[in-house]
């Protein structure tokens, strides 16, 4: 690349980042390597260019912009609907601010020390929060109730040995799965550690599962893009993930169409942070991060319209991770949480 080309490229990168950094907290992270800077530049510019292409089509191809105002926070979520006789409208690409935020969380995660984990150890996870459930009543209608999700869990690193669940004043065994049945929908540390740390390869693996189970012909209303976002969130919330894999998950999420940022969100433990989110079918799934460290705090789902699950603005699910670590046996607490 010539010097002139480099200057033009750097200028576009700076302009894009300046626009994206609005609302992105400046928590301290190590400086990226030159290779990471080049990859980041290519990805961010591709997202900006894709946004421009989607927004400047012909009048016949461009149908309308819809601004959805979330009730929990005053932020506009922009979606773009394009008419196409060959299939459903494509989702807008990830917002540049979301790309910038997820890159910062990835850098912070990658800087964490990768402590050795043995196959005979256990993952400890403590969460607080709630979920909303629906059940049929005697009259044939649906009753809505809120169920607490507070508790502690100890699961074996590879999922093969029995673990322990503690909550509501009681201890319950978690059966092991001889031979191992871990996966995206039941993640263990060993499964997370086996995932590729290249974000493109990782997203390809996650999307293959999402398309198979939520793509055309599956009968699912979730759709592959939303399911990919949900699957990444399940991995981040459901187990301990090695630092390099955590960083790759954040960078993979930045490649999912429709991901945006929220300037403020409160997790189930009452902690306020900055969030990335995705809207689908009247619901907004949010991942909340500490604004000073970039650490993942928790996840919640907010209704954007009223329905059987609740009223517009209701937080129907909210789970915060308040402690996690790796210990030698069930019932033991990590020294650093």
pLDDT of res. 167: 94
- Residue 34 has a pLDDT of 62
Question: Does 309 reside within a domain?
Answer: yes
* Nearest residue to 272 via CA among 68, 72, 69, 21: 72
In a domain, 333, yes or no: no
| Residue 133 · residue 145 · CB < 8 Å | yes
Give a three-class secondary structure readout of the chain.
CCHHHHHHHHHHHHHHHHHHCCCCCCCCCCCCCHHHHHHHHHHHHHHHHHHHHHHCCCCCCEEEEEEEECCCCCCEEEEEEECCCCCCCCCCCCCHHHHHHHHHHHHHHHCCCCCCCCCCCEEEEEEEEEEEEEEECCCCCEEEEEEECCEEEEEECCCCCCEEEEECCEEEEECCCCCCCCECCECCHHHHHHCCCCHHHHHHHHHHHHHHHHCCCCCCCCCHHHHHHHHHHHHHHHCCCCHHHHHHHHHHHCCCCCCEEEEEEECCCCCEEEEEEEEECCEEEEEEECCCCCCEEEEEEEECCCECCECCCCEEEEEEEEEEEEECCCCCCCCCC
Distances (CA, A) of 12 to 9, 18, 198, 224: 5, 10, 25, 31
Report the interhelical angle of 96-110 vs 34-55 (nearest 10°): 160
Establish if 336 belongs to a structural domain: no
Long-range contact set of residues 32-38: C-beta below 8 Å, sequence gap at least 24 = 32/107
Pairing of strands 142-148, 163-167: unpaired
Q: Is residue 186 part of a domain?
A: yes
Residue 337 lies in a domain: no
Residue 179 region by backbone torsions, left for phi larger than 0, else alpha for psi between -120 and 50, else beta: left
Domain that holds residue 99: 3-327
Is 228 a residue whose pLDDT tops 90? yes
pLDDT tens for each residue of 253-264: 999 999 999 988
Inside any domain, residue 335: no
What would the two tokens of residue 56 be?
């400047």
- pLDDT, residue 43, reads 54
Q: Model confidence over 52-79: pLDDT tens digits? A: 444 444 333 322 222 222 222 222 232 3
Give the model's pLDDT for residue 213: 81
Token code pair at residue 247: 């960083």
List 278's β-bridge partners, or say none.
Answer: 285
Q: How many domains does the chain have?
A: 1
pLDDT tens column, 24-55: 666 666 555 566 556 656 655 555 554 444 44
| pLDDT tens per residue across span 304-336 | 999 989 999 999 999 999 999 999 999 999 986
Instruction: State how far the Cα of 38 lies from the Cα of 64, in Å rounded to an integer.
Output: 34
Does the residue 174 lie in any domain? yes
DSSP β-ladder status, 272-280 and 62-69: unpaired
Q: How many residues would you count in the chain? A: 337
Query: In terms of pLDDT, which residue wins out, 109 or 141?
Result: 109
Position 334 in a domain: no
Of the ranges 60-74, 191-205, 272-286, which one carries the lowest mean pLDDT score?
A: 60-74
């Amino acid at each position: 690349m010539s010097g002139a080309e480099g200057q033009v490229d750097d200028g576009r990168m700076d302009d894009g980042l300046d626009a994206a950094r609005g609302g992105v907290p400046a928590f301290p992270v190590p400086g990226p390597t030159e290779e990471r800077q080049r990859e980041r530049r290519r990805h961010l510019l591709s997202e900006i260019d894709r946004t421009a292409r989607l927004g400047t089509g012909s009048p016949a191809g461009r149908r309308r912009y819809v601004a959805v105002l979330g009730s929990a926070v005053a932020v506009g979520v922009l979606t773009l609907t394009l008419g196409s006789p060959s299939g459903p409208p494509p989702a807008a690409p990830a917002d540049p601010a979301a790309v910038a935020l997820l890159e910062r969380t990835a850098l912070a995660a990658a800087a964490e020390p990768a402590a050795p984990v043995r196959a005979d150890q256990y993952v400890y996870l403590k969460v607080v929060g709630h979920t909303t459930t629906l059940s049929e009543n005697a009259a044939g209608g649906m009753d809505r109730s809120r169920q607490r999700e507070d508790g502690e869990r100890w699961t074996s690193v590879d999922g093969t040995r029995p673990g322990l669940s503690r909550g509501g004043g009681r201890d319950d065994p978690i059966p092991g799965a001889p031979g191992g049945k871990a996966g995206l929908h039941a993640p263990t540390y060993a499964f997370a550690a086996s995932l590729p740390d290249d974000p493109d390869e990782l997203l390809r693996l996650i999307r293959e599962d999402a398309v198979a189970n939520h793509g055309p012909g599956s009968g699912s209303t979730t759709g592959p893009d939303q399911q990919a976002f949900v699957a990444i969130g399940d991995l981040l919330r459901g187990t301990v993930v090695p630092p390099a894999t955590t960083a790759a998950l954040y960078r993979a999420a930045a490649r999912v169409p429709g991901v945006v940022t929220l300037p403020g969100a409160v997790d189930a433990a009452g902690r306020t942070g900055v969030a990335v989110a995705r809207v689908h079918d009247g619901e907004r799934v949010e991942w909340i991060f500490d604004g000073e460290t970039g650490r993942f705090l928790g996840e919640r789902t907010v209704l954007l319209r009223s329905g059987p699950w609740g009223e517009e603005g209701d937080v129907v699910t909210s789970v915060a991770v308040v402690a996690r670590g790796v210990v030698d046996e069930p019932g033991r607490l990590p020294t650093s949480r």
